[in-house]
Structures are given as C-alpha cells and as structure tokens.
C-alpha cells in the first residue's frame, strides 16, 4: 500500500473573514451544528442524508461522532500524549469533557494544566483547533452529568482503574458485576471522576480548499477579553 497515493482535493466550501463571527465560541457552535446536521438543509440534501443513514443502518456502519475530539496533554517532563474524548458541552466558559481524574490524562493535567483539542469533520472538510488552560468543574456540576449517564456507564466509572495495567478482561467484568450488586439503586459519583473545562486562549478554523490552498483563520484572546482574528497561510 502506497500512502502517497492517498489524496483528496477539497472542494466543499470556503472560509472568508467577512463570514466569521467575532467570537470564536459562537463560530464553533455554528460549525458544530452543521457537523451534527442540525441546520436546515435543502430537500435533495435531506434525501441524500436519509439514503446514507439507511445504507449505514443496513451495513451496520455507524457515522463518526461529531463531538469526538483529540485531546493533547503534556506531562511534567514535556512528553506529549493524545487520545480521543467526547465533548459534552461548550459555553462561554469553554469546552467541557469528563473522565477519570486518576487516568494518564488526569495525572498529566494535574502536572501541566495546559492542553489542546482538535475537531475534524471530514464530511465538511473542516477542522477546529483549540489551545488553552484546564480546570476541574465544580463537583455538583460533575455529579449532575454523572447521574444523567446510563446506569452501566456509571458502574463502569467505578469499575475501571483507567490507564492502569490489569491482568485480563475477566477481572474487569467481575468487578463490574460486584459493583452492580453493591449499588442496587442510585450509583454515587466516584471521588476520582468528574469534568474538566478548557478555557480557550487560541482557536483556529480550517476549511479545506483545492490545490492545498486551504483557508485558515486564528483567534487569539487579547488582554481585554476581545479576540484578534488573523488569516494564516495554509
């Protein structure tokens, strides 16, 4: 297999300064809604999407999660690591996700509270990159989200010593079954599980264009809270 032959000429959209919102979080919301298919679409596009969904269902092909994002962290020695997590909320404070605080990413965020996120929506030929500082959510907010999760996922948060070496899957499943009996009704919030919020200091919006002359715009937060918008070379 020659990966050099894997090429895509992007032609599905363009991005111009006049079309950007002055607030990058508002711009992100617009793009995210489009990626999630929430905006009004033409009749023929709706028909095409319906046929695609039918094909996906018949072939058991699940479309990618539009809220999936790559989270990059750095440990205290400067070594980076990445993983895919799910965005669970985005508001004027920033980007929110949940995880085990004792996991590798949790430990690295405790050592270095600076992180970066990347969203990639290939169907729209778009990418959003975010960099900023991380803080834990208040426990009450984490608990509210935790109790909205399916019961199995709640028990799973207790059962999994995330990022630790385990002997086999049987051990993990046995622990899950034990906890299922231990919590016959409400599952309490684990003390080492909760949310993080990334407060953005820089955001970049990328739209694929033909001949690799992509459109890129960066937002840089200024001292007065406003955002400086600049076009970047692709």
Neighbouring C-beta atoms of residue 228, cutoff 10 Å: 10
Q: How far apart (Å, rounded) are the C-alpha atoms in residues 136 and 198?
A: 9
- Active-site annotation holder among 12, 17, 177, 212: 212
* Residue pair 92/25 in contact by the 8 Å Cβ criterion: yes
Residues for the chain: how many in total? 234
Q: How far apart (Å, rounded) are the C-alpha atoms in residues 170 and 11?
A: 48
* Residue pair 61/53 in contact by the 8 Å Cβ criterion: no
Does 83 qualify as catalytic in the annotation? no
DSSP 76: T
Residue entry with tokens 């608990």:
143
- Catalytic annotation, residues: 212
């Amino acid at each position: 297999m020659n990966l050099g032959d894997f090429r895509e000429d992007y032609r599905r959209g363009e991005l111009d300064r006049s079309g950007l919102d002055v607030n990058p979080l508002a711009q992100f919301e617009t793009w995210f809604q489009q990626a999630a298919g929430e905006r009004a679409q033409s009749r023929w596009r709706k028909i095409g999407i319906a046929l695609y969904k039918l094909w996906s269902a018949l072939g058991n092909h699940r479309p990618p999660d539009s809220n999936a994002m790559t989270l990059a962290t750095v440990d205290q020695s400067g070594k980076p690591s990445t993983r895919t997590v799910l965005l669970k909320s985005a508001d004027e404070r920033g980007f929110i996700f949940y995880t085990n605080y004792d996991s590798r990413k949790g430990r690295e965020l405790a050592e270095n509270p600076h992180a970066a996120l990347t969203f990639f929506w290939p169907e729209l030929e778009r990418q959003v990159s975010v960099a900023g500082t991380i803080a834990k959510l208040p426990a009450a907010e984490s608990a509210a989200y935790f109790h909205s999760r399916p019961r199995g996922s709640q028990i799973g948060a207790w059962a999994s010593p995330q990022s630790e070496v385990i002997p086999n899957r049987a051990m993990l499943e046995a622990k899950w079954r034990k906890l299922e009996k231990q919590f016959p009704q409400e599952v309490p919030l684990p003390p080492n599980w909760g949310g993080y919020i990334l407060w953005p200091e820089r955001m970049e919006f990328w739209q694929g264009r033909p001949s690799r002359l992509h459109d890129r715009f960066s937002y840089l937060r200024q001292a007065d809270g406003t955002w400086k918008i600049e076009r970047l070379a692709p």
